Structure 1
Amino acid sequence: MKPIHLALMTGIALGVLGAAPASAQSVLNIALQDDPDTLDPATNWSFVGRHVLQSLCDKLVDIDAEGQIAPMLATSWEWSDDSKMLTFKLREGVTFHDGEPFNAEAVKYNLERALTMEISRRKAEISSIDSVEAVDEHTVQITLKEPSVPLLAALSDRAGMMISPKAGEELGENFTSSPVCSGPYKFVEHVAQDRIVLEKFADYYNAGDYHFDQLVFRGMPDSNVRLLNLRSGQMDLIERLAATDVASVKSESNLAVSPVVGLGYYGITFDIGGEGANLDIAQKQAVREAFSLAIDRNAINQVVFEGQFATGNQPFPPSSFYYDKDNPVPERDVEAARAKMQEAGVDEVELELLVPTDPERQQVAQIIQAMVGEIGIKMEIKPTELMTLLDIARQGKFQAHLVGWSGRVDPDLNITPMLACGAAGNDAHYCNEELDAVLAEARAVADPETRKAKYKEAVEILLHDLPIVYLYHSQWIFAHNAKLQGFNPYPDGIIRLVGVTMAE
């Protein structure tokens, strides 16, 4: 049975939608789980922001439906023999939304901005870059400090998104207020906690494959509210349909479900070195190990997700080539967990867990709360709006949080941005120089088997230190109006609208 407050939330959500812009000939209404933090590729950190930026800002490269690197603004690329130089050939005839030309100088500007901008969150992702040279108008040469195979994959995400240098210079850190890129849609407005509106860019080089005049994105943290808005016709496409709703939506002829297995993970991140750290957790590895042993990951999957997700204990799902099968997902072991608490010399530990406000993660947290409570870990759940949570975490003013990572096609990018010493996304404020050295060795080789052995070493370090207790790997489940044709989900979970139409 739904709680009473949900009905109120639903009424509010449906009422607000009456104010949606309707000036375009065809509008696609999309419900996201949250409102994005920023619309600047250099500073954005939220997953939902990537949905909007995908339609707003083209990248040097993208991925295809199989997760392989594909051309976008770069039509081809080539590595040097020593993997320390990457050369791109750029697409010709591309313009930014302000009419400025896209060229090699624009690429140089964007990469240097991402590396030097004080508030950039892309620094760690492309820190291997030593210099960028515009060889000619449509050729860019990137020289690396050391071999770094994951760089290409990093450029298939926000680090590879190109903004107009003119707008970037004029707006500086305020670029997010009026972003100018070169994607199929251009920015109209962002009303915080309400809507983001984009309109079709007529001069886009592939404009004929984009069929909506306007996109309206809305943040709706409650999955029930998103689904109710889809059923009412207020929304055309929603992300992260609750696993428990899949069967009922499939039975409705006017709706459709489109799932895809994701690349990322969900887990509990502990503050190890930040000012808000709980010292019993941060300084006593045995307590973190006890916490992990007390959790029944399969029960979480069955109860919250009806078995549709994959249980996990590593940065990669068990289906990944890089998953270490010698360290499988552990069974719950309460006695072993209690023994670890005794080893740590503690009977009880109080822990505050920040959890985003969506019902699924709240339910996951409640199950974990009951499980770890059996071994003396008294966990307080603190529901926190996602952007506020991320800001608190970046400052290190928390004890633990339950947040996911959407995943990347290169395994390095499921570890380094969150756990490398000093990385911008290192909420744990964790630093292990041995881990950093292993990851550096893995980045230097292209051979998959050699890299796999290195990531096994990395996983063994992480399973000992446990700055993150990995829990499960989700499917990205989209639901949409059955008239929406040509929508295909990608393994990174990002909405792509090329070729998508709405049948009459």
Structure 2
Amino acid sequence: MKNTFHRLTLAAAFMGLALSGAAAQSNLRIGLAEDPDVLDPTLARTYVGRIVFASICDKLFDIDEKLNVVPQLATAHETSADGKTVTIKLRPGVKFHDGETFDAAAAKYSLDRHLNMKGSFRRPELASVTSIDVVDPATIKLNLKEPFSPLLAQLTDRAGMMVSPKAAEAAGDKFGLKPVCAGPYKFVERVQQDRIIVEKFADYWNKDQVFIDKITYLPITDSTVRLANLRSGSLDMIERVLATDIKTVRDNPKLKLVTAVELGYQGLTINLSNGPKADTPLAKDARVRQAFELSIDRDALNQVVFNGEFVVGNQWINPTNPYYQQAFPVPKRDIAKAKALLKEAGVTGRMSLDFMVPNNPETRQVAEVLQSMVAETGFDLKIRVTEFATSLKQSESGEYQLYLIGWSGRSDPDGNSYIFQVCGQPQNNSGYCDKDVDAWHNEARIKSDPAERKKIYEKVAAKYLPEGSIKYLYHRRVLVALSDKVDGYKQMPDGLIRVVGVKLK
């Protein structure tokens, strides 16, 4: 309660400060569900971090409402007939926040950094790129070891974000403490777990479409408190409204709700071979994992926790996606079959599992419903509620047996699967590894025809869904609520909050 009061008081204080300087500066206050991890596009991995990056770090390309790739810092691209070179024309007259010029040399630097920096989460996203050539000051050429169909889609996200070479060289691995990019807003300050402040960049290439002077991001993990701050006027926008609060928002004439089905998924990651905690029957035997999945009723979970507003699923893309595999529909709950599989696997008695769950009300409720469901089959989930960024670190080091975690999603299906399912990839914290699955993923990357790629992913699904380390459960609706004072906001399917074109009345 003390924390809730503190957050409400703090937000009110910010509101007072904003009002005192209202004539001088407009301030858009956005409530986030978590505190982002490091603000370095090469090293970052959180969804909330991507929301902040949308204001400070422009990319070579972006997406539109229909998931088409559209230019941002690039103006055009051309792929060679053999698919092994991609030539990209760059936007002229672009400056970084430190005043340095964005040109081909800077673009090459940023892409090389994503590929080569120690700890880079972008390396697998650009794995097919062998080198980058500066053709002229406004043109770069990406040389690929083989055709790579998801490349442009990767460049619509963090892999396509451009950083100032001068600032990055000076800061080294501390760049994330004060990022310098080429977006509409420049970084001002960050107080961990408290606020991130950015201000309008006067030399932004598209400055005529930037109407707000300052943005304050406030991490507020309690969804009820986030909504209370929005209703009171202490916040202007909030992300991840609870599905159970949709009616409250819609019934309030001073609020608006925008929605889209997320590109990603929410699910359970099982530690298969990452350290001593993987020593469980669940990790060692696919039949036990199948029994676990058969203990879950996804429809009931959706109804109980989300009022039926979300979309149940069992794959890394949602059922409306063209790549969804209809041959593998969502499995129904079957306790008898689950118990038979456990008996066949030689499992007797109750199985205790360390269940790591990020700390927010919705995920805690999901965890409790799952705990109740699987108990009927003999699984005893020990829920361990953990601060979000801490849970990511613990998943990397294998400090879990079961982890309730999702992925915000990418416009190409490769972005939802490769880094989790292929041996040794940086987000494959479960340690899943299968040579056939690796080969199929690599084959899908070199095909450009969607029908051919879908057939290859069908083979992946046939093997990974019953044996793999992730049990996909549901796909959230992106739920962003905003004050009626916010105008011009459009919601893209990736769930990010884009601020160009947004106005405050």
Contact 1:9 1:225 in 2 (8 A): no
What secondary structure, in the 3-state scheme, does the structure 2 residue paired with 1:455 have? helix
Q: Which amino acid aligns with 2:10?
A: V
| Residue of structure 2 equivalent to 1:485 | 487
The answer to whether the aligner puts 1:418 opposite 2:412 as a matched pair is no
| Residue of structure 2 equivalent to 1:11 | 5
What secondary structure, in the 3-state scheme, does the structure 1 residue paired with 2:342 have? helix
The separation in 1 between residues aligned to 2:68 and 2:496, in whole angstroms, is: 14
The separation in 2 between residues aligned to 1:47 and 1:435, in whole angstroms, is: 26
TM-score scaled by length of structure 2: 0.97
Alignment of 1:110-149 (within 5 A): 110-149=110-149
What secondary structure, in the 3-state scheme, does the structure 2 residue paired with 1:266 have? strand
Q: Which amino acid aligns with 1:96?
A: F
What secondary structure, in the 3-state scheme, does the structure 2 residue paired with 1:416 have? helix
Q: Which amino acid aligns with 1:462?
A: Y
| Residue of structure 1 equivalent to 2:373 | 371
Work out the number of aligned pairs and report it: 497
Alignment of 1:102-251 (within 5 A): 102-251=102-251
Deviations 1:358-413 (A, max 9, x none): 11111111011011111111001100111000011111221110011011110111
Q: Which amino acid aligns with 2:281?
A: D
| Residue of structure 2 equivalent to 1:495 | 497
Alignment of 1:333-482 (within 5 A): 333-347=334-348, 348-482=350-484
Contact 2:11 2:229 in 1 (8 A): no
Displacement of 1:19 in angstroms is 4.4
The separation in 2 between residues aligned to 1:312 and 1:112, in whole angstroms, is: 37
The separation in 2 between residues aligned to 1:374 and 1:200, in whole angstroms, is: 55
The separation in 2 between residues aligned to 1:9 and 1:246, in whole angstroms, is: 24
Displacement of 1:104 in angstroms is 0.6
What secondary structure, in the 3-state scheme, does the structure 2 residue paired with 1:36 have? coil
Contact 2:54 2:499 in 1 (8 A): no
What secondary structure, in the 3-state scheme, does the structure 1 residue paired with 2:124 have? coil
The separation in 1 between residues aligned to 2:345 and 2:224, in whole angstroms, is: 42
The separation in 2 between residues aligned to 1:25 and 1:313, in whole angstroms, is: 47
Contact 1:396 1:429 in 2 (8 A): no
Displacement of 1:428 in angstroms is 1.0
Q: Which amino acid aligns with 1:302?
A: Q
Q: Which amino acid aligns with 2:224?
A: N
Displacement of 1:464 in angstroms is 2.1
The separation in 2 between residues aligned to 1:135 and 1:90, in whole angstroms, is: 11
Deviations 1:100-148 (A, max 9, x none): 0001111111111111111211111111110000100010100111211
Q: Which amino acid aligns with 2:370?
A: I
Alignment of 1:307-326 (within 5 A): 307-326=308-327
Q: Which amino acid aligns with 1:98?
A: D
Contact 2:26 2:504 in 1 (8 A): no
Displacement of 1:18 in angstroms is 4.0
Contact 1:277 1:397 in 2 (8 A): no
Displacement of 1:274 in angstroms is 0.4
| Residue of structure 2 equivalent to 1:77 | 77
| Residue of structure 2 equivalent to 1:26 | 26
Displacement of 1:279 in angstroms is 2.3
